[in-house]
Amino acid sequence: MKVRLEYRKYLYAFFSTLSQLEVFTIIIGEESDTPITQLEDYMVDGVISMELKPLNNPSSYGNFLRIKKMRGTAHAKNVLRLNFTGDGISIADVGKMLQEGAEQ
């Protein structure tokens, strides 16, 4: 419990300093289900989760993005598919794709 409290104090001081500096900051971390690592989600303005998941073919994987939190904005709530090509990055709404597939 003491470790969690110290970690929380450290995070609060860290994010407070960034706020006072009025800088735009992207912090990249590894996601975990442990309560101590979930503290960051409550202290930041936005949380974007990126995952590599298997597709229908077990040997194929796809990149997915989900905006878990973005304070002060109306953002997509569904999972988005990222496609990296020679022309750049395209983003597709997986929920919309599934819905359109069911309608056909």
- Is pTM beyond 0.85? Reply is no
Residue type, 88: G
By the 8 A CB rule, do 70 and 49 touch? Answer: no
Q: Which of 3-7, 9-13, 36-40 is predicted with the least confidence, judged by mean pLDDT?
A: 36-40
| Residue with the larger pLDDT of the pair 38 and 14 | 14
pLDDT at 94: 76
Report the C-alpha gap between 4 and 82 in whole angstroms: 35
- DSSP annotation of 97: H
By the 8 A CB rule, do 63 and 48 touch? Answer: no
pLDDT at 101: 52
Q: Which of 9-18, 29-38, 73-82 is predicted with the least confidence, judged by mean pLDDT?
A: 29-38
pLDDT at 35: 59
By the 8 A CB rule, do 81 and 63 touch? Answer: yes
List alpha helices for 1-104, DSSP H.
2-21, 39-43, 94-103
Burial class (CB in 10 A: 0-12, 13-18, 19+), 35: exposed
